[in-house]
Structure 1
Amino acid sequence: MNTLTHRDTLLAVRRWLILAVVSMLFAGLLSLMLIIGRLPPFSGWLTDPMFFRRCLVVHVDLALIVWFYAFATALFLLLPSGKPSKRSGHMALVGAGGVLAMVLSAGFEGAAPVLANYVPVLDHGLFLAGLFVFGASVVITLFDGRLLAPGAGPTILPRAAITGLKAMAAVVFIATLVFVISFFETSRALEAEVYYELLFWGGGHVLQVASVLTMLVVWLILLTGLLGREPMGRRTSGLLFGLLVAPQLGAPLLALAGTSSPIYHTGFSRLMQFGIVVPVLVFLGLCLRAVWTDFAAGKLGGRGLLDPRLVGFLASALLCVLGFVLGAMISGSNTMIPAHYHASLGAVTVSLMTVTFALLEPLGFSLGTGRLPAFARVQPLIFGVGQVIFAMGFAIAGAYGLGRKAYAGDQIVRASGEVVGLVVMGAGGLMAIAGGLLFLVLTVAAWRLNRSTYNRSSRWKNPRFTPYKN
């Protein structure tokens, strides 16, 4: 059994994971405000759409940027390393300061919300500084000796996941380079909406690949713990990770063509359309084949099918495929677009939520006994089903032409189908929020339960859902 006992590494992983969870807490609270702003008749009661736009900006950045990449950074720090240092833990605190600045800036009336795709912002110095500080803290942490370290050292990760996390870090570096090039290629004289859309368009697309790579790594962690073996060979997984990274190597060239050029816009769209789907579907197919093989051989059994690792994986896989389908159905600027990305991002989120419970014991936490483990069993199911209903509601409303990025008094509902879609969206959203809040309650409870008994020399064990022994 692989073990890792270095306290600095343990502290760094815990700090980055806590930052990710806290960001989800605030993102969930803001999402509740956004759902209320969409639902009739409440949308007519609240007449300040600017308030909801500010909430939307902070919500998206917390749920899409901070949650994903703080968590991905925590996973990256689990890679084998010969020389653990305190820098990674310090960077987590720096990143937390940046996140705090982002949240506080929403209280400034002069912070104009700009709903740019991928990275919406508040056009205010404090928010932009906070976003930069968080991003820099992630990049500095990922720029680590673990990138070049051989994969033979002690780790709690499946060996196939090591290549995936290094690929994720490489894609984050590519996205950073694209952001830098785009900054110098975009005229600051443009209106804020146009400026930030052009600035974040390219790098934002590349970051989606980093999120997908993180999700695939989590699938490997969950299924390896469930099956007792890796669902595919290291060479196969490495090839698929490489197929996801390879197209992104041309991303800086697209940015160098100029952010106002047609190739900049269409090029990154094509990279996403044709560079993600096939490798992910092949990866998913191999994972499903491994699960089916063990099920057919009687190795899983009835209790194995109810294991939260499998439930979380299947929920993530369903949302991932749904995101692909809804993305193919996009035509025009309507709520089919948020239906697509809420399904796609929900796939990543439910996988991260599920693996959090698998990492509790290795990080020195535990849900103990009693009701908490029982609640943890159903949490991925509640969130996953809620997110599917939420995305389908958006899709129904979008099929009838409901415009996106409209809240409160700005929202105009013309057809009964749009109302049905919004009601379905609201019901699914509330269910997903319930699942998200349950996740937060469980993680906070695990932290409080072990706060007084945490042993600094705690051994790192293979991740598993210890309360759910088959």
Structure 2
Amino acid sequence: MNDTSETTLSIALLESKPVTPCDYVLAVPRGAPLRLARSWLWLGIVSLMGSGLFALLLVLSRTPVVNEWLPVASFFRVALVVHVDLSVLVWFISIAGLLWSLNGSERGLKWAWCSLALCAIGAALLSIAPFVSQGEPIMANYIPILDSPVFIVGLLVFATGVASLVLRSLLTAPKIGVSFEAAGALRFGLNASVIATAVALLAFGWSLAAMP
């Protein structure tokens, strides 16, 4: 490298602005994408509220006399299954839906709302299943389930919503190229998370198909 090239490189390095945490900001769109993102957030908040309710039922199921009012004798494990699914599964997918809605383009918004509706209906069915359809809790790792028709249908509806959400997010993910700055790094991470979720869905589907 000659002296001129070294001088040019040194000047470029001196003039380049150092990256700070404040640069890692995802631009928030306006209009329909923002309303969609807020709706995903509300689904997450409601799921946490439901999870908290089932946490209370966990305590009540171990309380003498009170536990006699609960639907089934093993309600502790039943409540634990729903508590975990709402606080982990539904919550994480809701936050993912929020971030992917902010990250993607405005294409297929009706599709996006349908995905949200399916996830919300599925989560609602998961929540009411212990009270309308008794089933044996299966503490699978991971996802714990109740062996009841309502719960299984709710889980399938929720999974369909997640698959729809992931597919749209893959198709509307922004192109960031091979060289990007701080905001681009955030979008790269969000794009990668969509791919990771798609792989997880395929793994769940494969394991379900391979079950004897």
TM band (smaller chain): 0.7 to 0.9
In the other structure, the counterpart of 2:192 is: 167
Query: Of residues 127, 147, 151 in structure 1, which corresponds to 2:151?
Result: 127
The aligned residue for residue 146 of structure 1 is 172
Q: CA deviation at 1:84?
A: 5.4
Within the alignment, does 1:116 sit opposite 2:140 as a pair?
Answer: yes
Counterparts in 2 of 1:179 and 1:126: CA distance versus 1, 3 Å: same
Partner of 1:51: 75
Deviation of 1:8 after TM superposition, in Å, equals: 2.4
Equivalent residue, structure 2, for 1:250: none
Q: Distance in 1 between matches of 2:34 and 2:41?
A: 11
Deviations 1:256-284 (A, max 9, x none): xxxxxxxxxxxxxxxxxxxxxxxxxxxxx
The one-letter amino acid paired with 2:197 is V
Amino acid at match of 1:165: L
Give me the whole-angstrom Cα distance separating, in 1, the residues matched to 2:108 and 2:132. Answer: 40
Deviation string 1:215-235 (CA, Å, 9 cap, x unpaired) is: xxxxxxxxxxxxxxxxxxxxx
- CA shift in 2, pair 1:95/1:133, >3 Å: same
**TM-fit CA distance, 1:18:** 0.9
State TM-score, norm by structure 1: 0.35
| 1:183 alignment counterpart | 208
- Cα distance 1:3–1:70, how it changes in 2: closer, same or farther (>3 A)? closer
Residue 103 (1) aligns with residue 127 (2) = yes
Q: Could you tell me which residue of structure 1 aligns to residue 38 of structure 2?
A: 14
Identity among equivalent positions (%) equals 30
Structure 1 stretches of at least 4 aligned residues deviating more than 6 Å after TM superposition: none
Q: Distance in 1 between matches of 2:190 and 2:127?
A: 29
1:404 aligned residue: none
Q: Trace 1:22-421 onto structure 2 (pairs within 5 A).
A: 22-37=46-61, 42=63, 46=67, 49-81=73-105, 83=107, 85-108=109-132, 110-144=134-168, 145-147=171-173, 149-151=174-176, 158-187=183-212
Cα distance in 1 for residues equivalent to 2:138 and 2:203: 20
What is the total number of aligned residue pairs between the two structures? 178
Deviation at residue 23 of structure 1 after TM alignment: 0.5
Contact 2:61 2:75 (8 Å CA) reproduced? no
What value does the CA root-mean-square deviation take over the aligned residues?
2.5
Cα deviation 1:322-381 (Å, max 9, x = unaligned): xxxxxxxxxxxxxxxxxxxxxxxxxxxxxxxxxxxxxxxxxxxxxxxxxxxxxxxxxxxx
CA radius of gyration, larger in: 2
> What's the secondary structure of 2:109's corresponding residue?
coil
Distance 1:33 1:53, change over 3 A: same
Q: Distance in 2 between matches of 1:67 and 1:74?
A: 11
CA pair 45-100 structure 1, distance change in 2 beyond 3 A: closer
Structure 2 unmatched runs, 5+: 1-24
Residue in structure 2 matched with residue 210 of structure 1 by the alignment? none
Matched with 1:373 is none
Rate the CA distance shift 1:126–1:82 in 2: closer, same or farther, 3 A.
closer
Deviations 1:178-208 (A, max 9, x none): 1111122111xxxxxxxxxxxxxxxxxxxxx
Gaps of 5+ in 1: 188-470
Q: Could you say what secondary structure the match of 2:103 adopts?
A: coil
Q: 1:150/1:82 Cα in 2 relative to 1: closer, same or farther (>3 Å)?
A: farther
